[in-house]
Amino acid sequence: MKDHSPILPGATIGFLGGGQLGRMTAFAARSMGYDIAVMDPDPDCPAGPMASRLITAPYADADAAAELARGCDVVTLEIEQIPLATLEAAAALAPLRPGVDVVHMIQDRGRQKSWLHSHGFPVGPHRIVESEEDCVDAVRTMGASIIKSCFGGYDGRGQARVSDHVEAAEGWHTVGAARCVVEGFLDIADELSILVARQSDGSCSVFPPARNHHVNGVLAWSVTPTGLDAAVERDARALGRAVAEASGIEGLLAVEIFLLHDGRLLVNELAPRPHNTFHATERACATSQFEQLVRTICNLPFGDTTILDPTAIANMLGDLWTSGTPEFTEALSVAGVRLHLYGKKSARPGRKMGHLSGVGADYAHALVRTLDAYDALGGAPADRRSMEPHAASARIRP
Ligand code: ATP
Ligand code: MG
């Protein structure tokens, strides 16, 4: 029998993973009166200062996960790359939300794709390959492709883009994984994402969609509301909700979606946790994604997800620190803009250090303010190419 009784403030929430997603969730949990325990391999992890108890251990350490869970009323996670034995060790001692099975399905890109396909959800052409020969053959069939490692990739890492089968062998070796998914390169008009909160009793709450712009496979900025046609948003929300329901997740499920030029919606990938494309909910919505995760795993009523203020965010990567500290003062002089830093001690290129958020009268206003502030930081200027949606349907306003 599942336990749907509320886990009330005063209880302790455990986190497998103490990165920025854990940190921001911990802020929300702390402000609601929960205590925090964290397990992370890095003693300087961003969520460390939020925790009463910090266990420094690699994710493969199942005993450390058991130690974490022993002192917690519920355990959640902010990273899906956690070995099964570790998830099971935590789940044996405290409710683990999201569940073990859904994380296991998502953490292998190939298993995830097969699950989506077999459940009838729309995905692009792909093939799971386990050798250079298979990989070359798959690219010969599909043409321009992206080779993605089944395990461990994020922010476009563990991937290689190849234009034909001649480049495929080199791509296979660049990725350097034993198992990959080869995906045909898609004609994407716009990218959007859906975030669903689902509780153990099956009830769901869906956030308004976010529209996202990536540069070199890494999220550059995101905006809510999307500016897309209402019918596109409705279909995307229904798709995201259906995926969450089929997955049986208890927690947050982010569903990354591609809108193609021909109008089709395809699922790119899933994440069983808060998502970078919903950081704007801290300011856009009556309830942030972080608070919603706390409410969801504690069996409390869902928070209202109504949009209060159109909001954009722009990611700040370590590259901005190459010639010293970014010009925060300049950025913060832009009206409506706030700074969010994750407390990371070293700024490596490509590392997510923080983000800017900006509110405005509508999505375009919020985005202009946020990107103006980003440019004021003094790094390479923001990529403004997708500020207006590309999809033809998005331009047909009722
Ligand atoms: P993240 O951790 O940021 O979600 P990731 O490393 O898991 O990223 P993906 O989500 O697979 O990587 O891809 C990152 C981005 O690369 C996508 O958002 C999209 O912009 C582009 N991309 C991925 N797959 C394809 C594809 N099949 N065709 C065209 N572009 C793609
Ligand atoms: Mg992605």
Which tens digits make up the pLDDT trace of 369-380? 999 999 999 999
Task: Give backbone dihedrals phi and psi of 64, rounded to 5 degrees, phi first.
Answer: -65, -35
How much is the pTM? 0.97
On average, the pLDDT of the chain sits at: 96
Q: How far is the CA of 354 from the centre of ligand 2 (A)?
A: 18
Kindly state the average pLDDT of the residues 159-163: 96
The ligand 1 site (C-beta within 6 Å) comprises: 124, 146, 148, 153-156, 183, 185-186, 188, 191, 214, 217-219, 256, 268-269
> What's the pLDDT score for residue 157?
85
Pick the ligand that lies closest to the CA of residue 158. 1
Task: Give backbone dihedrals phi and psi of 96, rounded to 5 degrees, phi first.
Answer: -105, 115
Which numbered atom of ligand 1 lies nearest the CA of 159? Answer: 6
Which contiguous run of DSSP H or E holds residue 306? none
Q: Pick from 180, 187, 268 the residue to mutate for probing ligand 1's pocket: most ligand atoms within 8 Å of its CB.
A: 268
> What's the pLDDT score for residue 397?
43
pLDDT digits (tens, 9 = 90+) for 184-233: 999 999 999 999 999 999 999 999 999 999 999 899 999 999 999 999 99
> Which of the four pLDDT bands, split at 50, 70 and 90, describes residue 155?
confident
Is pLDDT of 355 > 70? yes
> What's the pLDDT score for residue 398?
38
Which numbered atom of ligand 1 lies nearest the CA of 145? Answer: 27
Task: Write out the two tokens for 344.
Answer: 């990371």
pLDDT digits (tens, 9 = 90+) for 237-279: 999 999 999 999 999 999 999 999 999 999 999 999 999 999 9
pLDDT digits (tens, 9 = 90+) for 326-349: 999 999 999 999 999 999 999 999
Rg (CA), the chain: 20
Task: Write out the two tokens for 69.
Answer: 């869970």
